[in-house]
Amino acid sequence: MSLSDHPRVYGTAALTVAFLAGVLVTLGFKDLYPELEARYQRRKKRYGSRAGPEEHRGSFLFGPVTLEDREDSVMLARSCDIVDGIEGTIGNTPLVRIRSLSEATGCEILAKAEFLNGAGGSPKDRVALSMIQAAEEQGLLSPGRGDTIYEGTVGSTGISLAVLARARGYKCHICMPDDMAIEKSDLLHHLGATVERVPPAPITDPGHFVNLARTRAKQHTASDSPSRGFFADQFESQANYTAHVRTTGPEIYAQTRGQLDAFVAGAGTGGTISGVARYLKLEAGLTSVRVVLADPQGSGLYNKIRYGVMYSSTEKEGTRRRHQVDTMVEGIGINRITENFEAGRSLIDDAVRVTDEQACKMARWLVEHDGIFIGSSSAVNCVAAVVTAMKLPKGSRVVTILCDSGTRHLSKFWKHIAAMGLEGDKSDEQQREEDLFEVLGINKNSLR
């Protein structure tokens, strides 16, 4: 072969190599591209035009390609992990877009599905585990010694404590008002807890359910038994709000990629709203996020946030119908400032008051339009999320909390919904024509 033929040979060889390489790349990419495209479409559907800080879109051969971190893969790996005990099922709950509320408001309303926590089925799983772990670190609880956890609660915290107490080698004793839904105390009994249902009383009364639990714990510790009584003290324990600083807040931040405009939640102990607010505003640096309190009728926290005075018209002499907050809503609403609420009070920007009627109608609306079956406090949160969304620009993102399932509220809240005549069948056309704001009695024009 002459030297003059070398360029032709080299050129032919180069074309052959390039052709083979192209075939191999095409064969490999045909499997890779559908996954990239599927991930892009899922992200586009999820966030619309909002792109996270790690997202860059280009026109690489086949159109839009998303470059992102491996968080989705990590979350998938976690969901496939084997967890150690019931404690491992707590946290990493889904963030659900509530379609009907989002469409009605023109904003994206997302709800943290805390009723899917695997221990007690509420955000109190996080709190109960945090309080028990803190007590164990301090030597106040020791497995196998016969120790008992005492708590005063209207339900959810007691259920979470009862589950985790058994799992970690303790007994559980719950004091609760006797006007709470009976299925809560029934469930506690089945979980092996001792339950004292006591008449409602002011917090200044020694017979108040929280004070009684404290007394029972002291009596246990002072007895001749080698075991100890531990009063969990959810209203004042710092382990309450710090559980949400460590877990709920970071989860919301990660699930939204830090892109949210408001966080809405009610307050019983105040741990959830304070903990999430502290994480988002102080640790994540989202200072522009509006934190909004969802408060049921009869609670004094609405006026405390709005006007700086703890007051409710139902506190007038002779007007209060119940010893506790004058509402059928359970789990949120209070007429005193707890340590947990105080921990985040300065970070709360606004408050929305929700009537019992609005809560009932919202709960029924969510069943009919979204298939979501929730309890009373979750319904209050959703009404407040709608009001908050209407005060924000179109396209804003509002996050709230779905606390527990409606199955814990059958004998009271959902019974009342039925009595209001809200459970009658509606035609598809009637449902389509329903206006959320008319149903809730809200003048949306006054909000925007």
SS3 283: helix
Q: In what order do the strands lie in the sheet with 148-152?
A: 194-198, 171-177, 148-152, 229-231
Joined tokens for residue 124: 């109190």
Q: Please state, in angstroms and as integers, the Cα–Cα distance from residue 200 to each residue in 161, 205, 208, 214, 238, following that order.
A: 22, 10, 7, 16, 26
Selection from 137, 138, 165, 139 nearest residue 151 by Cα: 165
| Angle, in degrees to the nearest 10, between helices 124-137 and 156-168 | 50
How far is it between the farthest Cα atoms of the chain?
114
Decide: 57 and 66 in contact? Cβ < 8 Å. Answer: yes
Within 10 angstroms of residue 52's Cβ, the number of other Cβ atoms is: 15
* Active site (catalytic) residues: 124
Residue with tokens 């966030």: 47
